[in-house]
Amino acid sequence: MPQSPISKRIYHQATKHSYLSVQLDPNYVDAATQPSSFKVYPKFYRRVKLNLNNQIHSFISLTSAVTLEKMYKEGAVKLRVNPSAGALYPTEVYIQIRNIEGFINGIYHLEVENNCLTLIYELIDDGLESYIIPGKSINGFIFLISCVYYRSSWKYKDRSLRYCWLDSGHHLGAIAASAYIHDREIQLIFDFDKLALNTDLGFENKEFITACAISGEIEDKKVRNLRLKVPFVCGTDYFEANEFIEQGYQNTSLQPSRQQKLVHPQFNFDKDKFFQTVWMRRSIRRFYKQSIPQESYWQLWQQFQQPIPTENFEEIEIYSVVHHVRGMTPGIYKGKHLLKAGNFSEKTGYLCINQAIVRDSAVTLFFTSDYINYPTAMLIAGFLGQRVYLISNFMGIHCSGIGAFYDDETQEFLGTNQDVLYAIAIGI
Ligand SMILES: Cc1cc2nc3c(=O)[nH]c(=O)nc-3n(C[C@H](O)[C@H](O)[C@H](O)COP(=O)(O)O)c2cc1C
């Protein structure tokens, strides 16, 4: 059933921050109680260690690799190619591999902590295609992104519903980046039978599929649903249910998105340098209020607006609040059009919950949308966020995703009726 215009916005509305809501609940948690952020299937499953000298292994590994280990007094945090709100990493990746030399046809869990694939299901005449693109068979790869939501709801409570989708979008962006480096095309799919898949993959109420990416040759061939259920394995060491998140996911997951024609982006980066960029990508922790050149800024825009390879789509509008770009009037822009001149550094810093990183950035981008399907809009916002990270880092500009802002005040400041989905600060 199509949702009414009010109900499609209900989960955004219900997870808004305001000055008051943040004062009342500043999200303080005891770090010692953080649930585990790596899922590991039992040791009796067969495993394939990923060897970076093998192109297929490298393609898979680079979608999720740990790239830096940081020591804190509470213990080590393993940072990855994909950023994540609060470094809580709710996302997991499953990969169906069919007719690829050196691999058993099956569904594998990508065990990020140990850089290996765990074979959790062997295919016969069945597979994931029947849930995702019925009537077709894919010789190649089907990536499924899921969320072990408690890793994020542990800290961010109901608002983590947003972060599950944004983080999943970033993870899709990491898959797209690895595909680009390894000369593969991918297609993103958002509209498919996620609920049936959650059941058959044995996720219970603790993990849910958010998105899919396919890469390979598509053949007209009927494949049947998985003939066996995969046993349940918990992605955290303990769990507390959040009914709002479970319902929010269930109620939005079968709603169709807008449709568009599939068009692939055509990037032309130096691939060795791009590989280094993916490997070294980090969220910046402070900016020095330095200006970035205008040419770099527009180059970033041009690259970042390349097509998103998907038929399921929601349009994202981009507002940029320019603080320090050489040769540009500071102010609020919609695309290239100046809406309101002025120095809004302090104001945007305040709107993003008094974050100095936003105040001191060269530009803060805000993604808004008039969506039909909220999860798809959030996933695309996260996917674009990953693009901004990689393109800006490639150009020597730093970046950080910003998921925390006062929603209504930001909307009013930008002068839009559209929901503000995500923000990104860039600068030096
Ligand atoms: C959806 C999302 C929201 C984020 N929100 C913020 C934020 O509000 N403030 C901030 O300083 N960093 C934010 N970050 C950056 C994360 O803190 C960062 O990705 C994480 O600590 C891992 O570090 P890394 O990106 O350097 O690997 C966000 C990242 C994502 C993906």
- Do residues 75 and 210 both lie within one domain? yes
pLDDT band at 4 (very low <50, low <70, confident <90, very high): low
- Do residues 132 and 46 both lie within one domain? yes
Atom of ligand 1 nearest to the CA of 404: 8
* 403 CA to centre of ligand 1 in angstroms: 8
Q: 29 lies in a domain?
A: no
- Do residues 188 and 306 both lie within one domain? no
- Do residues 61 and 183 both lie within one domain? yes
Q: 290 lies in a domain?
A: yes
Q: 327 lies in a domain?
A: yes
Q: Does the structure show a pLDDT above 90 at 322? A: yes
Q: Any idea what the CATH number is for the domain that residue 338 is in? A: 3.40.109.10
* Per-residue model confidence as pLDDT tens digits over 23-79: 999 889 999 999 999 999 999 999 999 999 999 999 999 999 999 999 988 888 999
Between CA 242 and CA 158 the distance in angstroms is 8
Q: 278 lies in a domain?
A: no
Residue nearest to atom 19 of ligand 1 (CA): 83
Between CA 92 and CA 80 the distance in angstroms is 12
- Amino acid type, 169: G
Cβ of 357 below 6 Å from ligand 1: yes
Q: 326 lies in a domain?
A: yes
Atom of ligand 1 nearest to the CA of 285: 11
- Check residue 254 and give its pLDDT: 87
Average pLDDT over residues 106-110: 98
Q: 273 lies in a domain?
A: no
Return the number of other C-beta atoms located less than 10 Å from residue 46's C-beta.
12
- Do residues 170 and 294 both lie within one domain? no
- Do residues 197 and 315 both lie within one domain? no
- Do residues 402 and 351 both lie within one domain? yes
Instruction: Provide the percentage of residues in the chain whose pLDDT is more than 90.
Output: 95
Q: Does the structure show a pLDDT above 70 at 188? A: yes
* Per-residue model confidence as pLDDT tens digits over 196-219: 999 999 999 999 999 999 999 999
Q: 126 lies in a domain?
A: yes
Cβ of 284 below 6 Å from ligand 1: no
Cα 384 versus chain centre, distance: 9
Residue nearest to atom 8 of ligand 1 (CA): 402
Q: 15 lies in a domain?
A: no
Domains in the chain, number: 2
Domain end marker among 232, 254, 276: 254
Return the number of other C-beta atoms located less than 10 Å from residue 270's C-beta.
10
Cβ of 402 below 6 Å from ligand 1: yes
Cβ of 400 below 6 Å from ligand 1: yes
**C-alpha torsion angle, residues 416, 246, 116, 106 (rounded to 10):** -110
- Check residue 6 and give its pLDDT: 52
pLDDT band at 349 (very low <50, low <70, confident <90, very high): very high
- Taking CA atoms, 60 is separated from 173, 182, 276, 319, in Å, by 13, 10, 16, 34
- Check residue 1 and give its pLDDT: 45
Between CA 71 and CA 324 the distance in angstroms is 33
Q: Does the structure show a pLDDT above 50 at 141? A: yes
Cβ of 170 below 6 Å from ligand 1: yes
- Do residues 297 and 413 both lie within one domain? yes
* Per-residue model confidence as pLDDT tens digits over 73-99: 888 899 999 999 999 999 999 999 999
Site to probe by mutation for ligand 1, drawn from 84, 151, 152, 166 as the one with most ligand atoms within 8 Å of Cβ, is 84
Cβ of 351 below 6 Å from ligand 1: no
Cβ of 407 below 6 Å from ligand 1: no
Site to probe by mutation for ligand 1, drawn from 74, 390, 400 as the one with most ligand atoms within 8 Å of Cβ, is 400
Q: Does the structure show a pLDDT above 70 at 5? A: no
Cβ of 399 below 6 Å from ligand 1: no
- Do residues 288 and 218 both lie within one domain? no
Question: How do beta strands 292-293 and 325-326 pair?
Answer: parallel
- Do residues 225 and 355 both lie within one domain? no
- Do residues 306 and 247 both lie within one domain? no
Domain end marker among 233, 254, 275: 254
Q: Does the structure show a pLDDT above 50 at 155? A: yes
Atom of ligand 1 nearest to the CA of 389: 25
Domain of residue 421: give its range.
284-427
Between CA 37 and CA 64 the distance in angstroms is 13
Q: Does the structure show a pLDDT above 80 at 413? A: yes
Domain end marker among 213, 239, 254: 254
- Do residues 295 and 404 both lie within one domain? yes
